[in-house]
Chain A
Amino acid sequence: MAEKLLDPRMTTPSNLKNSVFQNSPLRLREAPALVLLLVIIAWMFLFKSTFRSLENIGQIGQQAGILGIMACGEALVILTGGVDLSVGAIAAMAACVAGGRMSAGMPWQLAVICGLGAGLAGGWINGALITYRKLPPILTTLATLLGFRAFTNIITGAVPYTPLSAGFGKIASSYGPIVSFVLVVVVLATVLARVRFGRRIVAIGCNEQAVRLSGISTDAVIRRVYLLSGLLAGAAGILISGASNSAQWNIADGYELNAIAAVVIGGVRLSGGEGSIIGAALGAIILVTMQKSLFLYGRPQEQYGLVIGAVILLAAFAEQFRRFRESKN
C-alpha cells in the first residue's frame, strides 16, 4: 500500500506522459510483450517457410483481430480493477442474435446491429448488477457467464444458425476482423490516453475512493466500461460466427480466459490502474501468433496450454520485476 502511494506513476494521472516521453522505450509496460512478439515473429520468419505465406499471415490477422477486440474490452474492465468473465458467453449470445436475424432474412447490416445490441444488453446487466446492486465483479460475471451461455443455448434450442449472409461472411472472413480491431485499438487507446472518460477509467483503477471523493460518479464510469466490454465481446462473437458461417450457442467457449491472458501478457496490472490498450492488443497478437506457430510445428492443440501457461507466468514475472525495480528507485 505504502509502495503504491509513493509510486509517482500512481499519483500522476497521466501514465502515458511518464511512460512514453520520460523513460527509455525499454521501460514501457508494453516492452516485454513487444520484445516477445518480435522474437517469435523473427524466429518463425527465419525458420518456418509456411509461416511466411500470405494465407497464414491472413489467418493470424483474422484470429488476432477477433481475440484482440475482446481483449480490448476486457482490458478496460481490468483497468478499473474489475474483471469480466462473461465475455465469451456474451459473444455467443450476440452471435446467435445476429445469426438468427440473418437466417430469418434480415439484411446483414441490421442483423449485426441487433447482435451488437444483445452484446450491449449483456454488458448493461453486468454493469447494473455491479454498480446498482454493488455485487463483486468476479461473482456477477461468473453468474452471467453461466446465465448468458445457458440462455443462448435454451433460446436457440442448441441448433446452429447456418448458413449466414454471404455478404457478411465475405467481410468477416477477410478484412473485417483486422479492420475493426485496428479501429477499436486506435479509438480506445486515444480515449484512454486523451479523453476524460478514459482518464477516469485509469484513475478508478488506481484509487476508486479518491475519484469518487473528487466528485466523479465512479458508478457511471464503471457501468459504461462493462457496457463497452459487452459491446466489444458481442462484436467479436459476430465476427467469429461470420468467419465460420455458423452461429451456435457454444462459440467462443473459454475465450474469457484467453482474453484475460492476453490482457495480462500485454502488461496490464490485474488490480487495475496501470496498463494500456496497446498492451492488450499486443497480448492478443502474441497469443494467436504462438498458437499458430505451435500449429505449424505440428504440435497437437492440446499442448498449447502448456506454452500459454508458461507465457502468462513469464508476463507476470516481468510485471513483478518491473514493480520491484520501481520500488527500489
Chain B
Amino acid sequence: MTNVNSRFKMAFRLPVETGVIALLVVISLWLARTFPSFHTGANISDIFSNCSETGIVAAAMTLVIATGGIDISVGSVVGLCGVILGTLTVNHSWSLYTAIPITILAGAFCGWINGTLISRFKLPPIIATLAMFSAARAGAYVLSGGDSISGLPDALTNLGYGSWMGVPISVWIAGTILVLMGILLKKTRFGRQILSLGGNRVAAQLSGVNIMRTEASVYVISGMMAGLASIIVTARGATAVPDAGQFFELRAITAVVVGGTPVIGGRATMIGTALGLLTMRVVQNGVTLYKKDGMWENLVMAVVLLLAVEVDRWRRTREMKAS
C-alpha cells in the first residue's frame, strides 16, 4: 500500500466516540420524533441535572479504567461520605465550610486505602475495591445506625436545587469536574503517565514513571470524587441515607465503557464518558416517556452497552484494514 493511499484512508479514521455518538443521536432522534415533550427545555435540563452525581463519579472512573484498573467501591463510598456529612452537620452541628472538606477528605481516605492496597501491596483492583465496597457500606450503616439523617442545613439543600445562569449548580460542578479531568487526562504529565501505565506497565516504569504513586493517586482521586458526589446526592435528596449511591459503580462503569474507553486501559476518552452518561440518561428518559417500569432502563442499557462495544469493534477492524 502506498503512503498516499494509507494517508487518504487515515483521513476517514473515526473517533473512538463513534459508537456512543451514533447511539445517542439515534435514540434522541427517535424519542424526539415520537414524543414532542422530549425536546422541551425542562426535559433537557432534567436529563442534564440527573447525570450530575454519576458524572462526577464517572469522570474519576475514567481515570481508573485508563490505568487498567476498576473501582467498584465508589457507590459504597458515596453512602459512607453522605452519612459522614449528615452526622457532622446535624448531630455535631459543624458548619458546612468545615464539614464539606472533611467529607471529601473521608472519600479520599477510602480511595487512599484502595490505592495503597493496589499499588503497594499489589492486590488486584477488583479485590481491593470489592473489600472496600463491603466495608464502606457497612461503615455507613454502623455510623448512621441504619437510619436516615434529616434536618440538614438549608445552605446544603439550596445547593442541591439552586441554579446559576439558568443551569443547576450540580450540573456546573459535574461539568467542571468532567472538563478538569479531561484536561488532566490528555494535557498534563500526570494524565499521560496514567495512560502509559494502562498501556504498558513495565514500559511506563522503565521510562521513569513512578507507577506506584500514579496508580495510588488515581484511586485517591476516585475516592475524592465519590466524596464530592455524596455531597450532591445528599443535597438533592435533602437527607443523608446509608444506602445512598447504590449501583453508582455499575452506572459509572457503564457510562465509561459505552463512551468508548476500553476496559483494558491505556486509552481513555472523557468526552466519550460525558456522552455515555447522556446516553444513559436519555435512555432512562425514554423509558419514562414510554411510561414503562424503571427496569426497562436496565434492559435497554444492557443492549446499549453491548451495541457500543460492537460499534467500537467494527471501528477498530475498519482501522486495522485501513492501515
Contact between B250 and A142, CB atoms less than 8 A apart: yes
The answer for the CA separation of A319 and B77 in the assembled complex, in Å, is 26
CB-nearest residue of chain B to A133: B310
Whether A310 contacts B131 in the complex (CB less than 8 A), given A139-B305, A158-B293, comes out as yes
Contact between B296 and A142, CB atoms less than 8 A apart: no
The answer for the CA separation of A135 and B257 in the assembled complex, in Å, is 12
Q: Does B303 contact A (CB under 8 A)?
A: yes
CB contact list, B118-146 vs A, under 8 A: 121-124, 126-128, 130-135, 137-139, 141-142, 146
Contact between A305 and B134, CB atoms less than 8 A apart: yes
User: Interface extent on B, as a size class?
Assistant: 35 or more
The answer for the CA separation of A310 and B299 in the assembled complex, in Å, is 34
Contact between B131 and A154, CB atoms less than 8 A apart: no
Contact between B299 and A309, CB atoms less than 8 A apart: no
Contact between A317 and B141, CB atoms less than 8 A apart: no
Q: Does B253 contact A (CB under 8 A)?
A: yes
Contact between A147 and B299, CB atoms less than 8 A apart: yes
The answer for the CA separation of A313 and B131 in the assembled complex, in Å, is 6
List A contacts of B27 (CB < 8 A): none
Interface string of A303-316 (1 = CB under 8 A from B): 11110111011001
Q: Least Cβ distance of B146 to chain A in Å? A: 6
The answer for the CA separation of A186 and B306 in the assembled complex, in Å, is 36
Q: Least Cβ distance of A214 to chain B in Å? A: 25
Q: At the interface, is chain B mostly helix, strand, loop or mixed? A: helix
Contact between A151 and B128, CB atoms less than 8 A apart: no
Whether A303 contacts B141 in the complex (CB less than 8 A), given A142-B305, A309-B135, comes out as yes
Contact between B131 and A150, CB atoms less than 8 A apart: no
List B contacts of A151 (CB < 8 A): 299
Q: Does B264 contact A (CB under 8 A)?
A: yes
Which of A139, A304, A308 lies at the interface centre, i.e. has the most chain B CB atoms within 10 A of its CB? A139
Contact between B298 and A306, CB atoms less than 8 A apart: no
Whether A153 contacts B293 in the complex (CB less than 8 A), given A300-B141, A302-B142, comes out as yes
The number of residues on chain A lying at the interface, defined by a beta carbon within 8 Å of a beta carbon of chain B, is 42
Q: Does A102 contact B (CB under 8 A)?
A: no
CB-nearest residue of chain A to B242: A302
Whether A139 contacts B127 in the complex (CB less than 8 A), given A153-B295, A306-B135, comes out as no
The answer for the CA separation of A1 and B123 in the assembled complex, in Å, is 16
Whether A270 contacts B131 in the complex (CB less than 8 A), given A143-B305, A150-B302, comes out as no
Q: Does B117 contact A (CB under 8 A)?
A: yes
Interface string of A165-209 (1 = CB under 8 A from B): 000000000000000000000000000000000000000000000
The answer for the CA separation of A44 and B287 in the assembled complex, in Å, is 51
Q: Does B189 contact A (CB under 8 A)?
A: no
Q: Least Cβ distance of A115 to chain B in Å? A: 20
Q: Least Cβ distance of A92 to chain B in Å? A: 12
The stretch among A10-18, A25-33, A225-233, A256-264 that forms the contact with chain B is A256-264
Contact between A144 and B302, CB atoms less than 8 A apart: yes
Contact between A150 and B296, CB atoms less than 8 A apart: yes
Determine which of A147, A303, A312, A317 lies in contact with B298 in the assembled complex, contact meaning CB atoms within 8 Å. Answer: A147
Determine which of B202, B264, B302 lies in contact with A136 in the assembled complex, contact meaning CB atoms within 8 Å. Answer: B264
List A contacts of B9 (CB < 8 A): none
Q: Does B218 contact A (CB under 8 A)?
A: no
Contact between B117 and A313, CB atoms less than 8 A apart: yes
Q: Does B254 contact A (CB under 8 A)?
A: yes
Q: Least Cβ distance of B273 to chain A in Å? A: 15
Contact between B135 and A270, CB atoms less than 8 A apart: no
The answer for the CA separation of A136 and B262 in the assembled complex, in Å, is 9
List A contacts of B138 (CB < 8 A): 302-306, 309
Determine which of A146, A147, A300, A312 lies in contact with B250 in the assembled complex, contact meaning CB atoms within 8 Å. Answer: A146
Contact between A129 and B306, CB atoms less than 8 A apart: yes
Q: Does A140 contact B (CB under 8 A)?
A: yes
The answer for the CA separation of A133 and B317 in the assembled complex, in Å, is 13
CB-nearest residue of chain B to A249: B295
The answer for the CA separation of A285 and B264 in the assembled complex, in Å, is 33
List B contacts of A140 (CB < 8 A): 306
Contact between B263 and A146, CB atoms less than 8 A apart: no
List A contacts of B131 (CB < 8 A): 309-310, 312-313, 316
| Beyond known contacts A271-B124, A302-B242: 19 more, CB 8 A cutoff | A135-B306, A135-B309, A136-B263, A136-B264, A139-B257, A139-B263, A139-B305, A139-B309, A144-B302, A150-B299, A264-B127, A303-B142, A306-B138, A309-B131, A310-B131, A310-B135, A312-B134, A316-B124, A317-B121
A-B contact pairs, 29 of them (CB 8 A): A1-B202, A134-B313, A136-B264, A138-B70, A138-B263, A139-B305, A143-B302, A143-B303, A144-B302, A146-B254, A146-B301, A146-B302, A147-B299, A150-B296, A154-B293, A260-B130, A302-B142, A304-B134, A304-B138, A305-B138, A306-B142, A308-B134, A312-B131, A313-B127, A313-B131, A316-B117, A316-B124, A316-B127, A317-B123
Q: Which 10 A-B pairs have the closest CB atoms?
A: A302-B141, A305-B138, A147-B302, A309-B135, A150-B299, A305-B134, A309-B134, A150-B298, A309-B131, A153-B295
